[in-house]
Amino acid sequence: GAPRGTSPGQQLRALFYVLPPGESSFRTVEEVPDYVEKSIPFFIAFIVLEFAVSWVQKRKLPGRINDGISSLSLGILSRLPDVLFRSVELISYIYIWDNYRLFELPWDSQWTWYLTLLGVDFAYYCFHRLSHEVNILWAAHQIHHSSEDYNLFTALRQSVLQKYTSWIFNLPMALFIPPSVFAVHLQFNLLYQFWIHTEVITNLGPLEWILNTPSHHRVHHGRNPYCIDKNYGGTLIIWDRIFGTFEAEDAKVVYGLTHPVNSFDPIMLQLRPLAHIWNTFWATPGFCNKLSVIFKGPGWGPGKPRLGLPEEIPVVTGKEVPFNPRVPGYLNCYAVVHFAVVLDLYTELLGTVTMLSQGAILLRIAFIILSLTSFGLLMENKPKAGMLEFIRCLVFVAAYKLGYVRSQFSSLDYTYEV
């Protein structure tokens, strides 16, 4: 049958994983809505609401312009491969289902729906935990932890590479759970984790025992010694309670990495951890030690336990100052306006990708990456950032004049060129 539409109310409830089986069960993968894309307006609305509530509660905003642009840039960057290729998570899952499934649970059963909820969340817990305990996986996942702010922008701060390893953990479900049911829960599990990235929600009472909440997830994002390697759950916190990785929020959480990267450049944030592993690999003597650099914890070194020594975790004083280069106010305004233009171009690309040639898609992706990199360097006040931005603007005007990049709003054509 034709794909069922989703109402705004359903899209909103999808964010909180409260679409029941009757409203979110589909016979085929093709019928499953793109809940993530449909939720973008709600992402924006909740970010605005978070800013308003934070201002009322604390008389301060929940984040900074430079860090917010960095998080949004990483979010866009992480989604660009999906413009070119179908999701590796679904491709691999469908392949196992088509060729190796043992039996087939009914797609329209509520018990299949609930079993998949638990299965997807447990697979996420396993992958998430290994992403902190295996260095090569941490090299991708640490990008999500690199922000020194904690707000809804942080939820969008994602790795380009992480999805190319996470798919493995879902494959056991492909032996018996239909792909259409899996595709729904894969999105719901991701969407649920958006709203828990906030400080404006303190405690949810009895729900704290079962669900992953803002309080639990603040601990996960902390670099305080008591926060390290805790609270891996996606939707449910029960896995952490069962496997001994739960920690309740206690002392004020200081966010970010134990060794801050001090950069807003999205490409640098993606590649620097891999470069560090590469250099450490060649500098470490002994073949077994070299393998340990890749597959043991990020804190490991020769003679240390697998996950490193807890006493080597830097002490948190509570007086840490986030990386925040001073830039003129007009430059912040400039970056916000131009980022909004690029966001428009990105959204237009998503809407027209099926009508574009491969060359046109690659050209637009290249321009988006160039723009996000330039904004990051501007926010860092790098000496050559102005020249790169000047070149970017020339490329934009030429590409816009020739029709290689397009806005969703034709009325803005002249404004964009100006």
Q: How confident is the model at residue 418 (pLDDT cuts 50, 70, 90)?
A: confident
Q: How confident is the model at residue 140 (pLDDT cuts 50, 70, 90)?
A: very high
In a domain, 250, yes or no: no
pLDDT at position 400: 86
Q: Is residue 84 a contact partner of residue 361, using CB atoms and an 8 Å limit?
A: yes
The single-letter code of the amino acid at 306 is R
pLDDT at position 413: 75
- HEC string for 80-93: HHHHHCCCHHHHHH
More confident residue, 319 or 192: 192
Written as one string, the DSSP assignment of 155-170 is HT---SSTHHHHGGGG
CA angle 179, 184, 189 (to 5 degrees): 120
284 and 223 assigned to the same domain? no
Backbone angles phi, psi at 152, to 5 degrees: -65, -25
**Of all helices (H) and strands (E), which one includes residue 269?**
helix 266-283
Q: Is the pLDDT of residue 341 over 60?
A: yes
Q: How confident is the model at residue 5 (pLDDT cuts 50, 70, 90)?
A: low
In a domain, 257, yes or no: no
Q: What is the Cα–Cα distance from 210 to 292, expressed in whole angstroms?
A: 35
Q: Is the pLDDT of residue 4 over 70?
A: no
pLDDT digits (tens, 9 = 90+) for 96-132: 999 999 999 999 999 999 999 999 999 999 999 999 9
Q: Is the pLDDT of residue 197 over 80?
A: yes
In a domain, 294, yes or no: yes
175 and 307 assigned to the same domain? no
Burial per residue of 197-225, b for 16 or more beta-carbon CB atoms within 10 angstroms, e otherwise: bbbbeeeeeeebeebbbbbbbbbbbbbbe
pLDDT digits (tens, 9 = 90+) for 347-362: 899 888 888 888 889 9
Q: Is residue 129 a contact partner of residue 121, using CB atoms and an 8 Å limit?
A: no
pLDDT at position 155: 96
Burial per residue of 8-42, b for 16 or more beta-carbon CB atoms within 10 angstroms, e otherwise: eebbbbbbebebebeebbbeebeebbebbebbeeb
In a domain, 298, yes or no: yes
pLDDT at position 121: 98
pLDDT at position 55: 94
The single-letter code of the amino acid at 370 is L
The helix/strand/coil state of 255 is strand
344 and 201 assigned to the same domain? no
Q: What is the Cα–Cα distance from 98 to 88, expressed in whole angstroms?
A: 15
177 and 279 assigned to the same domain? no
pLDDT digits (tens, 9 = 90+) for 154-177: 999 999 999 899 999 999 999 999
Distance of CA 85 to the CA centre of its chain: 18
Quote the tokens at residue 257. Answer: 């990495």
Tokens 């070299």 locate to 290
DSSP 8-state code for residue 316: -
What average pLDDT score do residues 362-370 get?
94
What average pLDDT score do residues 35-60 get?
92
Rg (CA), the chain: 22
188 and 71 assigned to the same domain? yes
Q: Is the pLDDT of residue 325 over 70?
A: yes
105 and 154 assigned to the same domain? yes
Burial per residue of 134-171, b for 16 or more beta-carbon CB atoms within 10 angstroms, e otherwise: bbbbbbbbbbbbbbbbbbbbbbbbbbbbbbebbbebbb
Arithmetic mean of pLDDT over the chain: 93
In a domain, 152, yes or no: yes
Lowest-confidence pick of 15-24, 335-344, 405-414: 405-414
Q: Is the pLDDT of residue 276 over 90?
A: yes
| Closest CA relative to residue 370, chosen from 389, 348, 347 | 389
pLDDT digits (tens, 9 = 90+) for 141-152: 999 999 999 999
**394 lies in which domain range?**
329-405
199 and 280 assigned to the same domain? no
Quote the tokens at residue 233. Answer: 């759950």
Long-range CB pairs of 393-398, under 8 A, 24+ apart, other chains included = 395/367, 395/370, 396/367, 396/371
Q: Is residue 346 a contact partner of residue 366, using CB atoms and an 8 Å limit?
A: no
235 and 271 assigned to the same domain? no
27 and 79 assigned to the same domain? yes
In a domain, 290, yes or no: yes
Number of domains into which the chain is organized: 3
What average pLDDT score do residues 48-67 get?
92
Lowest-confidence pick of 54-58, 114-118, 218-222, 240-244: 54-58
In a domain, 21, yes or no: yes
Give percent of the chain above pLDDT 90: 80
In a domain, 22, yes or no: yes
pLDDT at position 2: 41
Q: What is the Cα–Cα distance from 189 to 193, expressed in whole angstroms?
A: 7
334 and 227 assigned to the same domain? no
Q: Is the pLDDT of residue 61 over 90?
A: no
308 and 339 assigned to the same domain? no
Quick one: 128 exposed, middle or buried, by C-beta within 10 A (0-12, 13-18, 19+)?
A: buried
Q: Is the pLDDT of residue 1 over 70?
A: no
210, 243, 276 — which closes off a domain? 243
24 and 72 assigned to the same domain? yes
Give percent of the chain above pLDDT 70: 99
| Closest CA relative to residue 263, chosen from 146, 362, 151 | 146
